[in-house]
């Protein structure tokens, strides 16, 4: 069987992109190998670890569980896009402040997932933060510092703090 391809057009981090892609290529391989956007990490490649979390059409998804062809006509936002807009600059600073990363492999996915809590707004209990982040594995930190960083950022925003740093 020959490699079947399909032309797709989408926006990635606000920029128009058109490519001819193998139909079996998942979204993360497309972003990393075709577009050089290596912030989205591939951990387990079967939807368990959350390292490949990103936004498609405004919704958090697992990048390894979508085919690139499925994003035709859609909008993809990766950690590079989220970083560039400054949407979670305060959360990123809090990750540094609280040592919420060690090896950093899970961090892009963790930030993408936590960004959804930031968008929802309001304070959250530590238990609620843990439940929300339960789909993202971290093998270094033991999660405590990650929950700290998310909690402190939600608190600062609830107290009127800006997401800018």
Q: What x/- string results for residues 77 through 116 when contact with other proteins is judged by CB under 8 A? A: ------------------------------------x--x
Stretch of 11-19, 42-50, 88-96, 138-146 contacting other proteins, by CB under 8 A:
42-50
Alpha-carbon span 88 to 85, nearest angstrom: 8
**In this complex, which beta carbon is closest to other proteins, that of residue 97 or of residue 116?**
116
Strand partners, 136: none
Give me the least distance between CB of 165 and other proteins, in Å please.
26
Catalogue the E-assigned strands of the chain. 5-12, 15-22, 53-56, 59-62, 75-77
Alpha-carbon span 53 to 64, nearest angstrom: 8
Alpha-carbon span 14 to 141, nearest angstrom: 33
User: Residue numbers of the site for other proteins (CB under 8 A)?
Assistant: 1-4, 6, 23-26, 29, 45-47, 50, 53, 59-62, 64-67, 69-70, 72, 113, 116, 130-132, 134-136
């Amino acid at each position: 069987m020959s490699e079947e391809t399909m032309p797709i057009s989408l926006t990635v981090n606000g920029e128009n992109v058109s490519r001819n892609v193998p139909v079996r290529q998942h979204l993360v391989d497309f972003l990393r190998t075709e577009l050089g956007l290596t912030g989205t990490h591939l951990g387990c490649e079967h939807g368990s670890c959350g390292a490949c979390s990103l936004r498609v059409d405004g919704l958090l998804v697992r990048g390894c569980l979508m085919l690139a062809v499925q994003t035709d006509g859609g909008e993809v936002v990766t950690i590079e896009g989220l970083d560039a807009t400054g949407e979670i600059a305060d959360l990123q600073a809090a990750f540094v402040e609280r040592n919420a990363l060690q090896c950093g492999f899970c961090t892009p996915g963790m930030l993408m997932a936590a960004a959804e809590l930031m968008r929802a707004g309001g304070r959250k209990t530590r238990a609620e933060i843990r439940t929300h982040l339960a789909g993202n594995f971290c093998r270094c930190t033991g999660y405590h510092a990650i929950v700290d960083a998310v909690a402190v950022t939600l608190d600062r925003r609830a107290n009127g703090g800006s997401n800018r740093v």
